[in-house]
Structure 1
Amino acid sequence: MATFYIKHITKFSYSNNVIDGANLIRLYPINDQYQKVNSHFISVTNNPFVESFNDFYNNRVGTFLITEQHDELTITSDVEVVTYDKLFPEDTIDLKTQWEELKTKKYDADIIDFIKPTPFSGSEDILNLIASKNLYEKTPTKVVLELCEYVYNNFNYIKGVTDVDSTIDDVWKLKAGVCQDFTNILLQMVKMCGIPARYVSGYICPAEDNTRGLGATHAWIEAYIPFYGWFGVDPTNNAIANENHVRLAVGRNYADCSPVKGVFKRKVDSDLFVKVEISSTKNKESYELPPNTFSDSKTHNSYQQNLDRIQHQQQQLHQNQQQQQQ
């Protein structure tokens, strides 16, 4: 058992005022037998009413609308959560029975969305890998662990070479990325073995000095193991997802689990700042947010500047027409 205090700050800075910002947040840690949320406070710029509901995958989701003009949006989530270690799959049931059980589960309502792999250019490479490792002659648990180790050893953890829009093809060619990319590759490989798998977003709490994924939200997979249930493995750290992994949401991919997404009116430039601080003790020190990077809005293209430019052009055109008439 472990207790963690998590502060998750998301700040959007805009080059000019925006209005009617509609936002959706998945910042509510899952509450079940492996996680207990002792307290949770969410604060948002302009203090809008946050309405919450459970989505299709039973994740808690919050929505809010900011109608007033604003050039910054800050969302702060403060959580105290207790986690409990999961039992490792015993893996004592014979091989054939486990694989047959997986076949009977593929049409279950809570499984069906997590079976089909995504078509991509590396499929043949993965099929060859599966054959070379004789994975079908091993239990599903061993398959998942071997593939997790393969991704960890054959992909380089490098920040900045990919983004949220990078495809599996991009990551497969680069053989590099961050936790989201490692997770997407492992999801693909596990599904191609016939094992259901789902994307998990959350936080990784420091266990060792070389833990990857600290300071931001983290991602890993959960594979469905027969006669056990969902088994979490973290390919970024080649680890079993245990009491140091705090789950926020599960889904088919990042889009189902993204912590914050939203839209607003007016055409502006924007910057995003994200900071996650995790501690095993309460920290009452306030965190100083960076200033709006667009504080000198005259140097940036924005909706208002475009409007001013159009008006100026129209005035000049009108003046030219009057001069020609004279």
Structure 2
Amino acid sequence: MPIFKIHHVTRYEYDRLVKESVNDIRIYPYLCPEQEVLHHELLITGNPELYLFQDYWGNKTGLFNLLPTHRELVIESKLVVRTTGGSQLQINFHSGFDALQLDTGNNLRLLELADPDFIKSKEAVDEIIQHIHQEGQSVAATVERCGEYIFKYFKYVKGITTNETTVDELLVHRSGVCQDFAHLMLQVLRTLKIPSRYVSGYICPNKNGMRGEGATHAWIEAWIPHYGWAGIDPTNNVWVTNTHVKLAVGRNFSDCSPIKGTFKGPALQKLSVYVSVGYEDGRSFEEVTDVGIPLDSHAAELVALDFAAAQQ
């Protein structure tokens, strides 16, 4: 059962004073049997009072206001977490789609997560389904083949997509990062009526070559009959075991965005995200991402932004 020390710093710098910043954050470890929080410290500029609640998807969420004028907002998370799942999974590869229908029949939450979004490139998704799904194949085998297909036929390239990139756009240029691959996999599996949800968190593989190490990461969880939620990471073509730390789940990235907020005052801002992962053997991995978010200086005084860099 490995232990990880994760340091996550989100910094916003403004070119002029802003005020009345209102934010909600989802950077708390998700409460589940697969991970145990040993320590979590959260530091925020101005030390505002935090209102904590559980959102619709079961994520621990914090809400705070920073009312005085400020030129910088820093949100720092220091986390020590133990992943309690094993390195091997016992996923049910026998249950088929008939069993899945029995699970989802009267479960409104699963039905909601089995409904695909409307996209223009439905034919491209149907083509993927033809490659990954066969009559009589188990649900788990279909999920696994979907992750394998995305890993094989889509390139992992940083910096060419944003957190607003659509599945339609990804299907055209066929390159992106973990967030894009997760959204595509959700669309494919939901078209097959497999309940699936987006997951945000960290990947901590201790320099074994996995993509996305050290940064905020994204993958998906699919509902497997007679098993439950099973995480799978299409960016790395692996089932999720004890090297992934989960922060939030939802229908898509928007439900899991680490930080969202609004503030008053037109300003140019700079966003930087620092993440480091420390391992029990003394090794560590760190990454800094700088994201420019220019705002029109003639914009309305009330500015609302999603304060989150695209997950890698």
Who is 1:101 aligned against? 99
Who is 2:268 aligned against? 269
Aligned-partner Cα distance in 1 for 2:196–2:7? 29
1:99-178 → structure 2 map (5 Å cutoff): 99-106=97-104, 107-178=106-177
Matched, 1:30 2:30: yes
Aligned-partner Cα distance in 1 for 2:177–2:135? 29
Report Cα offsets for 1:35-74 as digits up to 9, x if no partner.
Answer: 1101100000111111111001110000110111101000
Give, as a single letter, the amino acid of the residue that structure 1 aligns with 2:98.
E
CA RMSD of aligned residues (A): 2.6
Aligned-partner Cα distance in 1 for 2:215–2:28? 15
Give 1:290 shift. 11
Matched, 1:82 2:82: yes
Pair member with larger Rg: 1
Q: Which has a greater percent of strand?
A: 2
Aligned-partner Cα distance in 2 for 1:78–1:134? 42
Who is 1:243 aligned against? 242
- Going from structure 1 to structure 2, the CA distance change for 1:129 and 1:66 (only over 3 Å counts) comes to closer
Give 1:130 shift. 2.2
Percent identity, please: 37
Who is 1:253 aligned against? 252
Give, as a single letter, the amino acid of the residue that structure 1 aligns with 2:209.
N
Aligned-partner Cα distance in 2 for 1:104–1:161? 41
Matched, 1:191 2:190: yes
- Going from structure 1 to structure 2, the CA distance change for 1:281 and 1:48 (only over 3 Å counts) comes to farther
Who is 2:40 aligned against? 40
Aligned-partner Cα distance in 2 for 1:109–1:77? 34
Give 1:124 shift. 1.4
Give 1:235 shift. 0.5
> SS of the residue aligned with 2:109?
coil
8 A contact 2:91–2:140 mirrored in 1 = yes
8 A contact 2:18–2:69 mirrored in 1 = yes
Who is 1:91 aligned against? 93
Who is 2:219 aligned against? 220
Aligned-partner Cα distance in 2 for 1:168–1:136? 26
1:283-298 → structure 2 map (5 Å cutoff): none
Aligned-partner Cα distance in 1 for 2:58–2:257? 14
Report Cα offsets for 1:117-140 as digits up to 9, x if no partner.
Answer: 112232212223323444333100
Give 1:100 shift. 1.6
Q: Which has a greater percent of helix?
A: 1
Give, as a single letter, the amino acid of the residue that structure 1 aligns with 2:102.
T
Aligned-partner Cα distance in 2 for 1:45–1:302? 24
Instruction: Tell me which stretches of 4 or more aligned residues in structure 1 moved more than 6 Å.
Output: none
Give 1:278 shift. 0.6
8 A contact 2:4–2:279 mirrored in 1 = yes
- Going from structure 1 to structure 2, the CA distance change for 1:234 and 1:90 (only over 3 Å counts) comes to same
> SS of the residue aligned with 1:194?
coil
Matched, 1:71 2:61: no
8 A contact 1:215–1:275 mirrored in 2 = no
8 A contact 2:201–2:216 mirrored in 1 = yes
Give 1:201 shift. 0.3
> SS of the residue aligned with 1:30?
coil
1:192-207 → structure 2 map (5 Å cutoff): 192-207=191-206
Aligned-partner Cα distance in 2 for 1:197–1:25? 23
- Going from structure 1 to structure 2, the CA distance change for 1:290 and 1:158 (only over 3 Å counts) comes to closer
Q: How many residues align?
A: 292
Q: TM-score if structure 2 supplies the norm length?
A: 0.87
Give, as a single letter, the amino acid of the residue that structure 2 aligns with 1:34.
E
> SS of the residue aligned with 1:272?
strand
Who is 1:18 aligned against? 18
Q: TM-score if structure 1 supplies the norm length?
A: 0.83
Give, as a single letter, the amino acid of the residue that structure 2 aligns with 1:115.
A
Report Cα offsets for 1:170-228 as digits up to 9, x if no partner.
Answer: 11101000110010111111111221100000000024442111232100000000010
